[in-house]
Amino acid sequence: MSFQRDFVWGAATAAYQIEGAAREDGKGLSVWDMCSAIPGFVKSGHTGEIACDHYHRYKEDVRIMKELGLKAYRMSISWPRVLPEGTGRINDKGLEFYDRLVDELLENGIAPYVTLFHWDYPHELFKKGGWLHPDSSDWFAEYTRTVAERLSDRVKHWFTQNEPQCYLGLGHFTGTHAPGLKLGPAEWLQAVHNSLLAHGKAVQALRQTSKQPCEIAYAPVGITSYPVTPTPENIEAARERTFGITEPTFWMNTWYMDPVFFGKYPEDGLRMFEPWLPKFQSGDMDIIRQPLDFLGLNIYHGTPVQKGADGQPEVIGNAAGHPETMTRWTVTPESLYWGPKLFHERYGLPIMITENGLSSMDWVSLDGKVHDTQRIDFLHRYLREYRRAAADGVPLKGYFCWSLLDNFEWAEGYHERFGLVHVDYSDGKRTIKDSGYWYRSVIESNGDAL
């Protein structure tokens, strides 16, 4: 068994990472504009002021998508480009850009999959308290309605939020991502709760506002543990470590997902965070738990585990010299089998991989091409494991490679290259990498070529 006939093959990006035009046509500032201006916050002082200049070169980029054979494109909307102050006044020029982009995609037979929030929080709302403000979920719902009223006649597929573990953990706990806050546990947990409320209210707004039947999903990081050998004991250990909360960390799954799918926080998390829990309002969980159509997962790597002598999951360290990407993430294709399998088992929805890929050492060779053989091998290994999950009966809706273009990689600036397409940041020139053409052949065969 291979992938289903209507399997969605695509690539993904995020607005701040590629658009540029940070101050054009009435766009407001985001927290990433703010933090990129702080000396030392981003490597080498890089910013997203220009990025890939997608704002001006979107037609060229859509032509490239068509050449790659993409069936879908996962894009995000810049909240401050649409609402410069975060609420209230609408910037029509910002919406016009997304009008043009969506129309261009559809004219080229590419379905837009729109993420409402991929980290570029409006600076004006941050100054009012951001995710800590009790009205923050209503702000997000207003933004969602604004976008849906404009685009939902053509956009059928929506994601509310991307990787809450990152924008809430790295952004509000360690301070390494925008907005650069190092909150205490109580304040951080309040921000998480408000963000979950925002997700629920956004789903409600989409259901109420959409001008056609639509699909709505959520796209957290799928932090995956997998059994070092597939014995029943080790599989259970992988399950326990994937869904357990055994330390007060933001790198976890169930605190961000159980409320969305079960309408409650996990019991082990409530015990772990008991000294810092915010006061929840009656009815909060009813708002957060809204029916979704599928679960998006961003999975890049996993952790091998086994059942330890004490009966608890035991992490098996990778051997010296184990393959790693340029970001020093381990190459663990098994994560794209076990992740979808375990998350579907727990939450019961079809799975879509919304991000997967690697940063590699890519440059344009003397022959004018980009020979990224490691990316081809990486994607080949991961997609074979993903196909194995399909063969085992896990309902898989699609796969979005991260990323379409080399781009601004947040705090790493332009030092990491994840794209299927090379970008020369001096002049914006695009060069499709060997992996892009390889991916096209995979799409053409619906994965049978793997």
- pLDDT band for position 318 (50/70/90)? confident
Q: Cα 44 to the chain's mean position, in Å?
A: 25
Q: Cα 85 to the chain's mean position, in Å?
A: 24
Structure tokens of 226?
């997998």
Residue 447: the pLDDT is 97
Taking only the tens place, the pLDDT of each residue in 54-112 is: 999 999 999 999 999 999 999 999 999 999 999 999 999 999 999 999 999 999 999 99
- DSSP character at residue 324: B
- The DSSP code sequence of 240-260 is HHHH---SS-S--SHHHHHHH
- pLDDT band for position 438 (50/70/90)? very high
Element at 215 (helix H, strand E) = strand 215-219
- pLDDT band for position 252 (50/70/90)? very high
- The DSSP code sequence of 145-197 is HHHHHHHTTT--EEEEEE-HIIIIIIHHTS-SSTT-----HHHHHHHHHHHHH
Rounded average pLDDT over 252-256: 98
Residue ranges in 392-433 assigned as alpha helix (H): none
Taking only the tens place, the pLDDT of each residue in 178-219 is: 999 999 999 999 999 999 999 999 999 999 999 999 999 999
Residue 2: the pLDDT is 85
| Domains present along the chain, CATH in parentheses | 8-444 (3.20.20.80)
Average of per-residue pLDDT values in the chain: 98
Residue 168: the pLDDT is 98
Catalytic residue numbers read 163, 355
Give this prediction's pTM.
0.98
CB within 8 A of 419, min separation 6: which ones?
362, 403, 404, 405, 406, 407, 433
Distance, CA of 407 to CA of 399 (rounded, Å): 20
Distance, CA of 106 to CA of 388 (rounded, Å): 31
pLDDT of residue 317 exceeding 90, the answer is: no
Residue 88: the pLDDT is 98
Distance, CA of 160 to CA of 220 (rounded, Å): 10
pLDDT of residue 1 exceeding 70, the answer is: no
Q: Which residue has the higher pLDDT, 279 or 105?
A: 105
Distance, CA of 450 to CA of 444 (rounded, Å): 11
Angle between helices 92-107 and 136-151 (to 10 degrees): 50
Element at 75 (helix H, strand E) = strand 72-76
Distance, CA of 146 to CA of 301 (rounded, Å): 36
Phi-psi category of residue 301: left, alpha or beta, with phi > 0 → left and psi -120 to 50 → alpha: beta
Residue 310: the pLDDT is 96
Taking only the tens place, the pLDDT of each residue in 134-167 is: 999 999 999 999 999 999 999 999 999 999 999 9
pLDDT of residue 380 exceeding 80, the answer is: yes
Q: Cα 192 to the chain's mean position, in Å?
A: 17
Element at 421 (helix H, strand E) = strand 421-423
Residue 319: the pLDDT is 86
